[in-house]
């Protein structure tokens, strides 16, 4: 328990509020749990009891610890009871007017030293604090669902938040067994901002009919190393919830094109196909994404293999890593058959063949990849393919956040690994891939589409120049 924070109050007893209350109580704090609906409070405490008793049954928690945690929970029906709290965490409706009214009330009820925080994922902390006396004590404490399990907490500073309050909050959540990351109050904070391309590039591939949804998800999961494919994940989150966050970030950034929402996702929401919770989204549930069919084993053997850098020539067919050019663009420029290979960390790989290739030329490349232990998915000739362009956009967004002072590089990478379980932080990924490689891919995508969406940020250009200078 934090030595400077004794009593914790949580406003809102829904899934997030109840989870946060459980975390604070388990850490030794008396917790005042407030909700305007008394039946919601009863459900929340009953839910916490069931979760704790389940852990006891599974041998994960002692009976004494379970009883002690439950004894620290105090449901309250009157907001005036929150006056004794040292820290208030608001986890109520994601509506600015509701939060503004709540924080105005809290400022009148609680003494000036009480820390007032919001679990908001999208609303400006600066705006919440604007009408509050002593706005320096207002901050964001953004937990991730489920709060008792997920390690990450974004500690968000508004324009008036004091550094002392941020440090106090970081120490507090560290004492709760969580990993705090510091960030500035900008749209989406760290995770909901940097993660947008993970979904956006998948929707774009679906819109352009590159391949079906199950293949997109399989490639991002098995080749990219992500714990779940982006389209299946939006079904799990809820299409309405994911679409609302995308629209919020898009509008908060003055319709910046790289955050453009998907028309296909909007259609799903309008149709009530919200994903797993409605039984239908991108996929039909409970079965979810179907199995995909990999390219059949190619029997004939290549005769000549000539490696050259990141590429290899097999019986005259150039097999090359993706750099944002289509296979047809390369084939037309180089006057030879081409197969482009997507980024892969596993045994699954997506490839695209130039339309001018013969079937045998394409299969020569596929057979060679199969003999390297790869399971091949042949997709349409799509610039940047699936994983490579997604990684480039994630890396570019993370660099833009660094350049604009949203958070440190270390905190951004930590946030993306712990908040959405990415296999690597995007900045570490960029360093591993090479900044010039990422820059080239984005420049080729921007040239192909003629869109600002793929504009490389200036920090990426700077790092590519430094990388090239170092290598020379």
**Does the active-site annotation cover 332?**
no
Phi-psi region of 287 (alpha: psi -120 to 50; beta: other; left: phi over 0): alpha
- Closest by alpha carbon to 152, among 187, 197, 195? 195
- Counts for the chain of helices (H) and strands (E), in that order: 19, 14
**Which position among 142, 242, 329, 396 bears the catalytic label?**
142
Q: Are 27 and 105 in contact (CB under 8 A)?
A: no
**Does the active-site annotation cover 122?**
no
Give the other-Cβ count within 10 Å of 64's Cβ.
9
**Does the active-site annotation cover 121?**
yes
Give how far Cα 190 sits from Cα of 62, 175, 200, 386, Å: 36, 22, 16, 23
Burial track 92-105 (b if 16+ CB lie within 10 A, e otherwise):
bebeeeebbebbee
Q: Are 191 and 419 in contact (CB under 8 A)?
A: yes
Query: Looking at residue 282, what DSSP letter applies?
Result: S
Q: Are 312 and 351 in contact (CB under 8 A)?
A: no
**Does the active-site annotation cover 201?**
no
**Residue 184: which H helix or E strand, with range?**
strand 179-184
How many residues make up the chain in this entry?
Answer: 472
Geometric angle at alpha carbon 388, from 387 and 389, rounded to 5°: 95
- Strand extents, DSSP E, 144-297: 152-157, 179-184
**Which position among 90, 154, 201, 443 bears the catalytic label?**
154
**Which position among 119, 121, 124, 262 bears the catalytic label?**
121
Q: In the structure encoding, which two tokens stand for residue 105, read together?
A: 């009330």
Q: Are 414 and 181 in contact (CB under 8 A)?
A: yes
**Which position among 118, 185, 192, 248 bears the catalytic label?**
192
Q: Looking up tokens 């509050």, which residue turns up? A: 132
Distance CA 194, CA 402 (A): 11
Q: Are 82 and 117 in contact (CB under 8 A)?
A: no
Half-sphere exposure of 357 (CA within 13 A, CB side): 28
Q: Are 99 and 123 in contact (CB under 8 A)?
A: yes
Q: Are 339 and 312 in contact (CB under 8 A)?
A: no
Distance CA 136, CA 134 (A): 5
Q: Which residues are catalytic?
A: 121, 142, 154, 192
């Amino acid at each position: 328990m934090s030595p400077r924070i004794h009593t914790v109050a949580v406003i809102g007893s829904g899934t997030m509020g109840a989870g946060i209350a459980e975390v604070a109580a388990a850490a030794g704090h008396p917790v005042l749990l407030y909700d305007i609906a008394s039946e919601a409070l009863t459900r929340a405490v009953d839910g916490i009891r069931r979760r704790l008793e389940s852990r006891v049954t599974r041998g994960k928690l002692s009976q004494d610890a379970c009883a002690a945690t439950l004894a620290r929970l105090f449901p309250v029906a009157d907001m005036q009871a929150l006056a004794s709290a040292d820290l208030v965490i608001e986890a109520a409706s994601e509506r600015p007017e509701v939060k503004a009214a709540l924080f105005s009330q809290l400022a009148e009820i609680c003494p000036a030293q009480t820390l007032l925080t919001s679990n908001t994922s999208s609303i400006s902390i600066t705006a919440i604090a604007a009408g509050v006396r002593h706005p320096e004590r207002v901050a964001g404490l953004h937990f991730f669902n489920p709060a008792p399990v997920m390690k990450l907490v974004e500690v968000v500073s508004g324009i008036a938040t004091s550094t002392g309050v941020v440090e106090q909050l970081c120490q507090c959540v560290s004492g709760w067994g969580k990993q705090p990351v510091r960030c500035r109050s900008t749209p989406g904070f760290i995770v909901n901002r940097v993660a947008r391309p993970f979904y956006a590039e998948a929707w774009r591939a679906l819109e352009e009919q590159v391949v079906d949804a199950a293949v997109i998800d399989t490639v991002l999961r098995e080749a990219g190393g992500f714990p779940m494919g982006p389209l299946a994940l939006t079904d799990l989150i809820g299409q309405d919830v994911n679409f609302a966050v995308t629209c919020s970030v898009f509008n908060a950034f003055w319709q910046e094109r790289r955050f453009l929402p998907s028309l296909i996702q909007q259609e799903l929401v309008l149709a009530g196909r919200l994903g797993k919770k409605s039984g239908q989204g991108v996929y039909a549930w409970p079965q979810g994404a179907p199995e995909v069919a990999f390219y059949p084993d190619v029997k004939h053997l290549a005769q000549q293999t000539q490696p050259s850098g990141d590429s290899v020539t097999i019986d005259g067919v150039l097999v090359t890593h993706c750099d944002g050019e289509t296979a047809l663009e390369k084939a037309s420029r180089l006057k030879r058959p081409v197969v482009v290979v997507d980024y892969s960390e596993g045994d699954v790989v997506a490839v695209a063949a130039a339309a001018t290739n013969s079937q045998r030329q394409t299969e020569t490349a596929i057979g060679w990849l199969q003999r390297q232990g790869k399971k091949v998915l042949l997709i349409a000739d799509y610039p940047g393919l699936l994983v490579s362009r997604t990684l480039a956009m994630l890396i570019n967004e993370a660099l833009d956040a660094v350049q604009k002072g949203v958070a440190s590089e270390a905190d951004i990478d930590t946030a993306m690994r712990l908040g959405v379980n990415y296999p690597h932080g995007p900045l570490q990924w960029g360093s591993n891939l090479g900044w010039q490689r990422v820059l080239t891919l984005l420049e080729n995508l921007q040239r192909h589409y003629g869109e600002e969406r793929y504009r490389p940020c200036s920090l990426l250009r700077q790092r590519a120049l430094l990388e090239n200078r170092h290598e020379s």
